[in-house]
Structure 1
Amino acid sequence: MNASRRTALFSVAASAALALSLTACQSGEGTKADGAPVAQDTASATASAPAAGTSTDTGTTTGTGTAVGTAHKTGAGSSAAKKGTAATPLCRAQDVKVSSERQDGPPYTHIILTARNTSGHRCEMAGFPHIQFLESHKQDVSSVAKSKPAAPTVLNPGDPAYAMVKLSDGGVDEDNEVVTAFQLILQGDSTVIAVDSSAGGGLAVDPAKTLTGYWTTELRNGADDF
């Protein structure tokens, strides 16, 4: 057999062997020759699994722990989860005991209202007392804007709030009426609070001159002078 024929036969045999090898790989991919499964590549398996300690939870949490949205958590948590709890409730009539005391005098032109938190929880004395001194004058006593405190008047159990109230310009006036009791309501509550003012013979009130300050944790010079 000449050299060129031997070379041709060798090429044909090599091509046939390669074809058989490829056919065996395609038909038995992922198995050994004896049919046993082939283990996955270690690097590929590690890459497809979540890293240790990584959260895959799909939802940020609120302050109450309720899942919302579809964002992955971070180690520090979302800013929304850190925000505060419910706002302090308004003080209601059942939460406080209100009393009045004459201020300066005589003549007594002002009183100080004191509302003490007798409940077992914090509450806010919002705005000013809505006062009616006389049955013949149903409108509320006007408030003085400059007495409004810069921060909310929040009371812990046992704490007092104060409001300065003007009765008249002083002196004897035919428009003054003696008041031995009056009523008020708190902002956000329609319950009527009756206040006894009979001590010392009552209060001389001029309905045209009355004014009230806002509730505050302390009386302040200037802001409560009116």
Structure 2
Amino acid sequence: MSLTAFTARRARTLRLAAAGLTAVAALTLTACNSSEGTGTKTEGKSDASTSAPADQTSDSSGSGSSNGSGGSNGSGGSNGSNGSGGSDATSGAKKGGDAQQSGASKGGSNSSDNSEQEIGPCDINKLTIGVKSVQRPVNYMVLEVNNHAGVDCNMLGFPRLKFGADAQAATPVYEDSKPQAVVTLAPGETAYAGIRTSSADGSGQNGYKATSLEVFLEGSDDSKSVELPGGSVYIDSSAQVTYWQSDLANALD
């Protein structure tokens, strides 16, 4: 083999070797770059994965701000808007209102009671008193009193009647005539009491002719003399008087 041929062959061998080394180096570099790219991508995924919880945490924190201890619906907000302070204030206001209402109610009740208590018994000196005969029932009269005191008054019980100067006791009351309530007279109103003077069948005893009538009211020693119809009336042991009535018909029933 000539030197020239040998030299050419060696040069070719060296070129092939160099080309092979170049290829190997390229493959190695590619592999390294591929590994680094994968690593970068993996790192990127890791960052993304880490970033996602961070965002969620941020959202959670945001939710916590809305609903947490310092938020509008949290314990702080609850204490501020609906907590014990507001509740106590509302409760206090309610109790105050109830107490005021109760006081007003009691005051009204007391006023009503006082108003009723102010109605006292009628004063015989402030009453116009008269007596008159009636056709039915027979042997009956009716006693009428009219209030001119200017204020309401109560006609208590029944009138105490003393017929004639020699009468030993007041005329007995007819118990069945007792009304359900005391008769109250407003100014100008009239109350009535029926008087049976004697028995219709003549069964009464100890009869006498009375020429005067003195009227007393229950609970008072004051009296008024009343003129009798015709100047006199026959009285016997069956004489009776009714309780005060607000209606004439009840007085003669």
Common fold by TM > 0.5: yes
One-letter code aligned to 1:163: A
Deviation at 1:78, TM superposition (A): 5.6
- Give the Cα–Cα distance (whole angstroms) in 1 for the partners of residues 252 and 142 of structure 2: 10
Deviation string, structure 1 residues 20-75 (Cα, Å, up to 9, x no partner): xxxxxxxxxxxxxxxxxxxxxxx6xx949966x94998xxxxxxxxxxxxxx8244
Residue in 2 aligned with 1:159? 189
Structure 2 unaligned spans of 5+: 1-79
3-state SS of paired residue (2:156): coil
3-state SS of paired residue (1:77): helix
Structure with the higher helix share, 1 or 2: 2
Q: Is the 8 A contact 2:165 2:212 kept in 1?
A: no
Structure with the higher strand share, 1 or 2: 1
Residue in 1 aligned with 2:7? none
3-state SS of paired residue (1:142): coil
Matches within 5 A, 1:128-207: 128-170=158-200, 175-197=206-228, 199-206=229-236
TM-score, normalising length: structure 2: 0.55
What CA RMSD, in Å, does the superposition of the two structures yield over aligned residues?
Answer: 3.5
Q: Is the 8 A contact 2:163 2:211 kept in 1?
A: no
Deviation string, structure 1 residues 77-116 (Cα, Å, up to 9, x no partner): 36432211433211111221110001217x9511100010
Deviation at 1:130, TM superposition (A): 0.8
Deviation at 1:143, TM superposition (A): 0.5
- Give the Cα–Cα distance (whole angstroms) in 2 for the partners of residues 209 and 100 of structure 1: 19
Report % sequence identity: 23
The alignment covers a number of residue pairs equal to: 166
Matches within 5 A, 1:17-96: 47=85, 54=93, 73-75=99-101, 77=103, 79-83=105-109, 84-86=112-114, 87=116, 88-96=119-127
Alpha-carbon distance change, 127 to 164 in structure 1, aligned in 2, over 3 angstroms: same
TM-score, normalising length: structure 1: 0.61
3-state SS of paired residue (1:73): helix
Q: Is the 8 A contact 1:102 1:108 kept in 2?
A: no
One-letter code aligned to 1:218: D
Alpha-carbon distance change, 96 to 47 in structure 1, aligned in 2, over 3 angstroms: same
1:219 matched to 2:248: yes
Deviation at 1:218, TM superposition (A): 0.5
Match of 2:239 among 202, 210, 218: 210
One-letter code aligned to 2:186: N
Deviation at 1:190, TM superposition (A): 1.5
Deviation at 1:144, TM superposition (A): 0.9
Deviation string, structure 1 residues 113-170 (Cα, Å, up to 9, x no partner): 0010011000111110011113322211111111111122111100000000111114
Structure 1 unaligned spans of 5+: 1-42, 58-71
- Give the Cα–Cα distance (whole angstroms) in 2 for the partners of residues 75 and 178 of structure 1: 65
- Give the Cα–Cα distance (whole angstroms) in 2 for the partners of residues 129 and 176 of structure 1: 21
Matches within 5 A, 1:92-111: 92-104=123-135, 109-111=139-141
- Give the Cα–Cα distance (whole angstroms) in 2 for the partners of residues 160 and 130 of structure 1: 18
